[in-house]
Structure formats: C-alpha cells, structure tokens
C-alpha cells in the first residue's frame, strides 16, 4: 500500500472516530444461527428443530435469516436437510430467507427449492482456505461468484457476496487490505445487492475492521450496502461490530446463543450472540426491530436442543435494568410458542 493511500485512510479513520453522528440510528441484524450457528455442532439437529429455531427468530423480529447451506452432505452433515428446511419455511412477504452457496451445484440446488429470496456467495481471501472450504483457489471462487451473481441478476433474484477470512487466515496468516479490495472490486462489477467482510476465525481487531470497511466504502461508494460478520473467538466480536458501525456498515450478522464456527477452520468458535449484540445496540439507542427477551428465551431453548451450554452472555446475566422488560426494539411478541 502506498504512503499516500495510507495517509488518506488515516485521515478518514480519524474523521470516523471523531464523528459520533455517523453511527446509524438503525441497523439490520442478519440471523445466522440456522446455518452458521448449527453447521459446526456435533449434535445433529432435526429439521423440525431447525424450523422451530427459525420460527423463534421470526417471532423475535428477525427479518433477514440465513436458513441453510447447500454444501455437500458428506462434508457438512448438519446441512444435509437443506431442501427439507426450505420446504418448511413459512412464506411471508416481510422476510428475506438466504441460502449459502459455495459452488455452481449449490446454486442450482438453491434455485430448485423455489423457496429462498437470496443467494449468499462466499469468496475466501486466501487460496489455502478456499481449497479447504470450497475445493478451489481464490481466482476460481471469484469466477464462480461472478457467474452466479450475473445469473441471479438476470433472474431477478437477490444475491450477495461475503469475503471470508478477511481479517486473517488460519493457514496463511495476515491478509493484506489490498487483497480484500481487489476481490471486492471484481465482485462489485457483477452488481451484488451487498458485500460483506467476514472474520471467519475471529482474529480481527477493531482498528483493522474500521480501516477495512472505510477503505471498502471508499472503493465501492455509498451505493453498495455493506455487512459485517464476526466471530468471538478471541473476545473481540462486539468491539469489531461497533467498529463496523463506525464505518457505516448497515447490516451485522449474529447467531442466537452465540453458537457457530467453520468446520474447515481449526479452533473455530461461535458468532457474536444475537442477544449480546442486541443488548449493546439497544442500550445505544440503535433500532433493529428485534426483541431481546425473545432472543434470550430462544437461547435457553437452544441449550435444551443441543444438550449443552451456549456462549451467550445475556442468557447468564439478563438485560438491564433488572426487573424491567429488557431493551426490546420493535413490536415483536414475547414468549416462545412453537
């Protein structure tokens, strides 16, 4: 990266940190527990329980949900019932259901369901991770994603793209910002509805997140929606989410209970817990339309399904002030009715 570009980014970062008003009054939460949350669990969760989880997320007010992945069943047994989950989704006009797509075959399976609103594509930032995750190098992943984005646009289907291991790779180490911007530029040419940066293995820190999203916004302009995906492996997930907000990111991924992790990455742990993120945003006065109490109740239910404790902090501590209805956003109903 040239000295001139570094100085320009430093100036922009200083401006972002100095201007609290740049934080949006509203943020969209993408609920990823049915897919990223469950994919790395050793206990196979039934299709009925997955649909119940989706129902509870909808009841909490979630309106963007990543519901499944069209990965090979032998490689990801937890997602082997992708078509069955899709067939059981309640069809409603106020929700965007997303399916994760890793290759052309996965995209074809998604289309065949005729039940999903959006294709979510993944392009890792390093060849080593791309080979383990998708069996091809970065350039092949970019080419695949561009074909799918082009086809989806022609069909009128929403399609977005996520750059995985954007803040560090467990196999190759540090990832250069210039590499992220190069990949994002190629993807943006095909008109995705959104581009995301994912801290797949939870190695990123807030300064790095802020720098990357500011640079991405500078490259793509204000017309491209941005999304952040963070794992809490090293206890930086919420801080990274806040940094993303400072950079103007409109959507944040989170998983009820804080479950999740990538099966192809060593020592992978869960996503930010939806309830922990919602607590922070609610106390900051940032609207999400999601009910914190229902998220906490769902995290407790999820423990019974998985037969273990989940990482959620709010499930242990509850909201604040104690004794009051916690920081709910929107008008979602409380209580869990299957």
Distances (CA, A) of 142 to 104, 137, 182, 201, 224: 12, 9, 11, 21, 18
Residue 272: partners with Cβ closer than 8 Å, 6 or more residues away: 230, 231, 232, 237, 238, 241, 252, 253, 254, 255, 258
262 is catalytic: yes
Beta-bridge partner residues of 104: none
Do 261 and 198 meet the contact criterion of CB atoms below 8 Å apart?
no
* Number of residues in the chain: 338
Cβ atoms within 10 A of the Cβ of 149, count? 23
User: Are 89 and 97 within 8 A, CB to CB?
Assistant: yes
User: Which one of 86, 141, 169, 262 is the catalytic residue?
Assistant: 262
Which token pair is 32? 């990823």
Q: Distance between CA atoms of 102 and 91, rounded to whole angstroms?
A: 24
Strand partners, 29: 252
- Give backbone dihedrals phi and psi of 289, rounded to 5 degrees, phi first: 80, 10
The catalytic residues are 262
């Amino acid at each position: 990266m040239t000295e001139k570009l570094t100085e320009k980014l430093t100036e922009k970062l200083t401006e972002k940190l100095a201007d609290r008003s740049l934080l949006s009054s509203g943020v969209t939460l993408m609920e990823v527990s049915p897919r990223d949350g469950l994919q790395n669990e050793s206990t196979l969760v039934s299709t009925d329980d997955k649909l119940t989880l989706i129902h509870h997320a909808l009841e909490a007010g979630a309106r963007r949900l990543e519901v499944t992945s069209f990965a090979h069943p032998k490689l990801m047994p937890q997602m082997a019932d992708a078509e069955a989950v899709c067939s059981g989704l309640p069809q409603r006009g106020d929700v965007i259901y997303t399916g994760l797509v890793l290759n052309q075959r996965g995209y074809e399976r998604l289309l065949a369901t005729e039940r999903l609103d959006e294709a979510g594509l993944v392009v890792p930032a390093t060849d080593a991770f791309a080979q383990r995750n998708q069996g091809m190098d970065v350039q092949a992943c970019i080419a695949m994603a561009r074909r799918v984005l082009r086809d989806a646009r022609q069909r009128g289907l929403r399609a977005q793209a996520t750059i995985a291991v954007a803040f560090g790779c467990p196999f190759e180490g540090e990832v250069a910002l210039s590499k992220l911007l190069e990949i994002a530029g190629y993807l943006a040419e095909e008109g995705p509805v959104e581009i995301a940066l994912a801290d797949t293995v939870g190695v990123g820190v807030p300064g790095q997140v802020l720098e990357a999203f500011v640079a991405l916004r500078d490259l793509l302009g204000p017309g491209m929606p941005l999304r952040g995906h963070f794992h809490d492996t090293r206890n930086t997930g919420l801080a990274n989410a806040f940094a993303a907000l400072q950079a103007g990111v409109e959507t944040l991924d989170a998983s009820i209970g804080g479950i999740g992790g990538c099966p192809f990455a060593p020592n992978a742990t869960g996503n930010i817990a939806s309830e922990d993120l919602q607590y922070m945003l609610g106390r900051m006065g940032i609207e999400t339309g999601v009910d914190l109490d229902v998220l906490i109740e769902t995290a407790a239910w999820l423990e019974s399904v998985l037969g273990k404790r989940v990482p959620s902090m709010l499930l242990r501590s509850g909201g604040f002030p104690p004794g009051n209805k916690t920081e709910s956003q929107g008008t979602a109903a409380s209580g869990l009715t299957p």
